[in-house]
Structure 1
């Protein structure tokens, strides 16, 4: 398949990396430095130029393209790219947009803007925040198989009950698989006698109940079931969408917005949310409004630095958990080290959603972990799969290392995989895969 990716930023680069081994990928960007960088870092053809110009699209081979992905940072540019593409050909078009109102317009008008599939970055980010907030201590979380299976990543702190335990001792749950330990730069596929160390990140896959029980064990932080009050800082689209989702779940939510006009607009559109007009970096205001009594603070301002400051202030006055939007991916680890509990990067969230549509047809869902060091895939097994009508222990012998079968669903029922489990046609299998072997795994599975 020939794929043209317009925009060589983090989103475009991640998508190109997921496709360059199996497809002919062309990346277009106006920035010569980005073009040069992606030429050397990925097996792609890079074209410098304006993706809204027909001449640039023709240079990229639009007449033979099967898919065009518009992933620049400007919504209108991405829509124009898709429209220009449809004017000269009929490839499948994907547009990344930040503004949720554009997404809603597209959803209500089939084929609007010449876009076949649209990804709303702000809405996806808000949904990710709510999903992570539902599990105490989770740094990442995703659902698979229509909600039957959950994947989550947790950091093991020195005072965690499982620090120093073996995997077999820590595995006290009915339907849970310890898929991996992320230890420094290494990915460890755990055996029963593998010792879980402080500072490891543990990836688990299983039923929602078992993953939640594990979350309650690994960290003392409250889950949404225990949360009484949530404070959201920042009334931009991400903050608004996050408040709307929490409100729909019935949580007591407050939103702080500094701009008076925007605060009034939010109050009108969020009748179930208390909107406060003030500067959330004013610690006196935070104390006066008893923000210290909230269980969760979500920092959704448009500045990474201000989101970090809000999170640090919240921690200082006694808030138990903070989640912040971090636009610059290189800051996520740093911010989580100095005081933010979980950083959510909208660009990575968007890349995951688009990757969902660029994988092989049998891949139902995908989640990227640790800046794409590993992936969790959901596949539907057919007769071409190495798992088809085979015991898992036999199939694993022919698969590369660093692959773990985390869960199986069959006819709406969850099956916890064991070595003797036989996989059948139509089963949905959730698999942890190190990205270094992703292509080999995808071909076999």
Structure 2
């Protein structure tokens, strides 16, 4: 794709396309295409992009959008086949790097096994990506976001701090009781706070920590009595949707034996055949008598993956009422995530947001080894390999920080497969992998210095 993307075409101005455009418009010349006039009006006024009304499968529309000069085409409509056609059409008239969003995992499998299939250079499967996100979050009690870096050596996690949290009211120094752990940031209302030792952690903050898997897990366990995934005795997935199936399959791959509840008899039989390590129960999960009879109240985690937000909220509320410790639910409407987390779901996962973040992450990885975005791109965690032109090269961290803007924290260093917890006196070596927390406001300046 080259060092810098001159022009990016985003086809589809729905929730996914709008989020991608917002993430790219600071660095790239972004053109957005959609058939819906209202969406075009909305994105014209809300983002620094050129918006064009038209059909992205039309060669004429693509030419109007400047396909000949495009470096990147992202097909993000809600129809899998349309996105594939868009990528093929783009390749027919130019040679941009193409990214397609799909929901059907079988399309992803076909693409993976047929190099260059469909004219798609990179494909993101919403349902599979969402299931992977659910399993990552389920694996760390209390976490709202979890990512791994440095080949699994480093973990980043975000935790909401409630009034009853043991670290609410503590300073960062008091809360930091774990080896190989760095408090990278506190997300407070609309502010991104880079904490010092005397910074007080408030009720309502989101704490972002970076460190070894063991330290982050120990920190998570200190915040909540919820079990880790390894300790979970019962996991119930409610809903045999594709996301529900993929979630159960991934739990099985981790050596767990979840239960899955599906109302439709034919779908339940099909899932039972495809999930040998899962107990599939054919029933209506909103039937409280069934939930009691099947001892769902004894479950450690209930994952709601039904076909509607309202049903997922209802199942989560019923589960919490029965005494389930943790609920994770799919929330298709992004604007409802915060509301649902307030009234009954411990963690709401929005598939469209997960997809847009994965696509944006991929476009950023041309400059970095790995990227994680936090709070709808308010901040990022980057993994960068240190080379000779980096401000960090063969330099003490305290000296290098003087060359970087505020809003940056070095969270961890991986050197030859070993984790180094960064301190002011630590000298960063060439070839080190450094995991950085970066406020999005200073992202360009930081990546230029790296």
- CA deviation string 1:269-320 (max 9, x = no partner): 0111111111111111111111111110000112111111110000011111
* Distance in 1, Cα, partners of 2:38 & 2:444: 28
1:411 equivalenced with 2:416 (yes/no): yes
Cα distance, 1:230–1:350 mapped onto 2, change above 3 Å:
same
The aligned runs of 1:315-334 (5 Å cut-off) are: 315-334=320-339
For normalisation by structure 1, the TM-score amounts to 0.97
* Distance in 2, Cα, partners of 1:249 & 1:21: 39
One of 173, 183, 190 as aligned partner of 1:185: 190
1:13 equivalenced with 2:36 (yes/no): no
1:178 Cα deviation after fit: 0.1
- CA deviation string 1:170-200 (max 9, x = no partner): 1111100000111222221110011112222
One of 326, 337, 342 as aligned partner of 2:342: 337
Number of the residue aligned with 2:442: 437
1:333 Cα deviation after fit: 0.7
SS at match of 1:90: coil
- For the Cα contact (< 8 Å) 1:229–1:296, is it kept in 2? yes
1:99 Cα deviation after fit: 0.9
Number of the residue aligned with 2:3: none
Ranges in structure 2 where 5+ consecutive residues have no aligned partner: 1-5
- For the Cα contact (< 8 Å) 1:352–1:366, is it kept in 2? no
SS at match of 1:33: helix
1:298 equivalenced with 2:339 (yes/no): no
Ranges in structure 1 where 5+ consecutive residues have no aligned partner: none
One of 251, 259, 263 as aligned partner of 2:256: 251
Alignment size in residue pairs: 445
SS at match of 1:18: helix
Cα distance, 1:294–1:360 mapped onto 2, change above 3 Å:
closer
One of 40, 47, 52 as aligned partner of 1:42: 47
Kindly report structure 1 stretches of 4+ aligned residues shifted beyond 6 Å.
none
Cα distance, 1:291–1:272 mapped onto 2, change above 3 Å:
same
SS at match of 1:315: helix
For normalisation by structure 2, the TM-score amounts to 0.96
Number of the residue aligned with 1:312: 317
* Distance in 2, Cα, partners of 1:389 & 1:41: 43
One of 386, 394, 417 as aligned partner of 1:389: 394
Cα distance, 1:382–1:14 mapped onto 2, change above 3 Å:
farther
* Distance in 1, Cα, partners of 2:362 & 2:13: 18
Q: What is the RMSD of the two structures over their aligned residues, measured on CA atoms?
A: 1.2
- For the Cα contact (< 8 Å) 1:356–1:364, is it kept in 2? no
Number of the residue aligned with 1:119: 124
Cα distance, 1:282–1:143 mapped onto 2, change above 3 Å:
same
* Distance in 2, Cα, partners of 1:397 & 1:328: 43
- For the Cα contact (< 8 Å) 1:126–1:238, is it kept in 2? yes
- For the Cα contact (< 8 Å) 2:23–2:377, is it kept in 1? no
* Distance in 2, Cα, partners of 1:429 & 1:40: 38
The aligned runs of 1:230-249 (5 Å cut-off) are: 230-249=235-254
One of 247, 257, 275 as aligned partner of 1:270: 275
- For the Cα contact (< 8 Å) 1:140–1:153, is it kept in 2? yes
Number of the residue aligned with 1:366: 371
- For the Cα contact (< 8 Å) 1:362–1:380, is it kept in 2? no
SS at match of 1:302: coil
SS at match of 1:255: strand
SS at match of 1:158: coil
* Distance in 1, Cα, partners of 2:48 & 2:385: 29
Number of the residue aligned with 2:289: 284
1:360 Cα deviation after fit: 5.7
One of 31, 34, 43 as aligned partner of 2:36: 31
1:141 equivalenced with 2:146 (yes/no): yes
